[in-house]
Structure 1
Amino acid sequence: MTTVQITYVGGPTAVIELAGLRLLTDPTFDAPGEYPVGSRKLVKTAGPALAPAAVGPVDAVLLSHDQHPDNLDGAGRAHLAQAPLVLSTPAAGARLGAPVRALSPWQHTDLPLPAGGTLRVTAAPALHGPSGSEPLVGEVTGFVLSGEGLPRIYVSGDNASLGLVREIAGRHGPFDIAVLFAGAARTPLVPDAPLTLTSEQAAEAARLLGARHVVPLHFEHWGHFTEDGESLTKAFAAAGLAERLHLLAPGASVRL
């Protein structure tokens, strides 16, 4: 089976390389500082390990959503303009226009591979908080990557629902690799529940998905995360899944 290389840039941003394609998740390249979201502010505590020039050209961007600066910032928006294709939500497509290709839940598009064949990218449903928070947090998507002779990969985006993870696993599992956005994000917008997976939920998601490898993203570098790499390590160990977890340092890569 084709190997995959994942390079962690920082926050929700990573480069996934497989079968000759380079895919970029949620581009965020701005410096640390305060970033407004409506009347509120999110605080970025660390910049990316790699600048856009160091990331280099990509074949497509997997954009979970465009409405929050911790998933798409100013420099990330500039980077989108250089991308040949951006896959995201219908709401993002309406706001951003070309080169966004909108995918509703369970819709897919096929990307040609340099050596022949295709990579299928399927939009996976996501819920950025507890049930009922959709009008507050907006539309979000995850992605399933699949193809003949290719590893099956799930990229969660900012999903906080294990129920949706269970549904995705039932439709498309088991998975070889799960790229899980974690960190148990909390903001005053939805004060009573996390907006992304907790560390324990990430471990349970790995079990539900049957994922042989898990690469966490979006659990550090912003002030609204309440759980970090250490809590992920503990949660996966407690679940008996320590060997599946690949906790990358910013700028580091793993081949799977």
Structure 2
Amino acid sequence: MKRSAGHSFPRLRRACRTALFSGALLVSACLLSAAKTNLPVAGYPASPQAAEGRFRNPAPKPADGVLKTLGIIWNVLLNKPDTTVPKGSVPVDALTRADLDAAPDRSLFRLGHSTMLIKLRGGYFITDPVFAERASPVQWMGPRRFHAPPIALKDLPPLRGVILSHDHYDHLDRATVLQLAKTTDVFLAPLGVGDRLIAWGVDAAKVRQFDWWEGTSIDGVEFTATPSQHFSGRGLFDGNKTLWASWVIVDGADDADAPDHGTLRLFFSGDTGYFDGFKEIGRRFGPFDVTLLETGAYDAQWPYVHMQPEQTVQAHEDLRGRWLLPVHNGTFDLAMHGWQEPFERVLAFGERRGIALTTPRMGERLDLSAPHTATRWWREVDTVTAGALLPERGFEAAQ
């Protein structure tokens, strides 16, 4: 017993040094990010979501406590299982500009995590575009992609619009936004997120900002920012200075020019915990043809800001959805669960509830008017032999 205890102290010291070093790097990265961002927070005191200079959720967040917070950090830094990243290659269907141009309207291509490219009315819209190698303030540390994007950023067609849910690094990538700003007509953002874009150098004339239940129409497609239960911030001192939102997208409502095309209703959740707002959104805008709902990066210790897969299915039912496309998975290691677990859990629970669920591969075309179940592609990935997250060459080739 004495020998075992003696050996445990060096391990404990190494663990503490690792935790302190990782924490110092993270703090430095956040400070560097805050300095680069220089966000001029305008403040939105008239917003029902604002109080004392910050945004908030309708249901107050339960207090975590110092010990719980430290425990979460300790687990993330030192106790991650090796199942949180794939050991083999994630299948990706490579895309070209010609593929996108040939795709019919109402096509969706999942590019990774919460980044979806959607073709409506001959124009292209993209959600939460992240083409960076890492979801991090800096590109030399932080969660690294499992796979390269199906199409290089430079090969994307000009975009009619970019749809943003909030400002976290796995949803809002500064380098990607600045590149897209050269060829994008409109950026749709929650309050304050648009101010961040303008501070980065995006033309203010291209930026439109919305509170919950506000929206706009582009080429006959209606976009409405709707509630979600989450938080925001990119540095140490800007927590909840910008709003977070989900989005309702409606194509073809009362469209006399396309009477045979029918109305298409989509819901994009962004990041959110489960809350009563799904029922209200479903009441106002449902039923939805396809719901793009967060299913990943969850943990039992943070139920307030992310959904368990079973809650994703419940949210889909609250929204009165027909087809469920689980997103926010398969690209970044952001939690303690196995990387395949979100797919398996949402699939199993969805089948028990009779939910039509589609799981297209990254880059595979999905017909939003008539979705298909697609393959259970994550089961094809080799999880036995060791492998890297993403070969440097493969990632760089996609840029």
> Displacement of 1:138 after TM fit?
5.3
Percent identity (aligned): 29
Indicate the RMSD between aligned Cα atoms, in angstroms: 2.5
Give structure 1 regions of 4+ aligned residues with deviation exceeding 6 angstroms.
none
Contact 1:65 1:140 in 2 (8 A): yes
Stretches of structure 1 that go unaligned for 5 or more consecutive residues are 113-117
User: Aligned match of 1:51 in 128, 149, 152?
Assistant: 152
Structure 1 stretch 225-234 or stretch 101-110: which is displaced more? 225-234
The question of 1:23 aligning with 2:133 is answered no
User: Relative to structure 1, is the Cα distance of residues 126 and 34 closer, same or farther in structure 2, using a 3 angstrom cutoff?
Assistant: closer
The question of 1:179 aligning with 2:296 is answered no
User: Relative to structure 1, is the Cα distance of residues 207 and 107 closer, same or farther in structure 2, using a 3 angstrom cutoff?
Assistant: same
Which has more radius of gyration? 2
Task: Determine helix, strand or coil for the equivalent of 1:185.
Answer: coil
Code of the residue aligned with 2:166 in structure 1: it is H
Distance 2:297 2:241 in 1: 15
Alignment of 1:182-221 (within 5 A): 182-186=295-299, 191-193=301-303, 195-221=305-331
The question of 1:122 aligning with 2:224 is answered yes
The question of 1:240 aligning with 2:354 is answered yes
Distance 1:220 1:138 in 2: 27
TM-score (norm 2): 0.55
Partner of 1:255: 367
> Displacement of 1:220 after TM fit?
2.3
Alignment of 1:94-113 (within 5 A): 94-97=195-198, 98=204, 99-112=206-219
Distance 1:55 1:215 in 2: 23
> Displacement of 1:191 after TM fit?
4.6
The structure that is strand-richer by fraction is 1
Code of the residue aligned with 1:140 in structure 2: it is W
> Displacement of 1:74 after TM fit?
3.6
User: Aligned match of 1:8 in 86, 110, 130?
Assistant: 110
Distance 2:164 2:243 in 1: 11
Code of the residue aligned with 1:58 in structure 2: it is L
Contact 2:145 2:331 in 1 (8 A): yes
The question of 1:140 aligning with 2:244 is answered yes
User: Aligned match of 2:269 in 156, 173, 182?
Assistant: 156
List per-residue Cα deviations over 1:31-61 (Å, max 9, x = no partner): 2x46239xxx741232322221333221001
Task: Determine helix, strand or coil for the equivalent of 2:192.
Answer: helix
Code of the residue aligned with 2:187 in structure 1: it is V
Contact 2:295 2:308 in 1 (8 A): yes
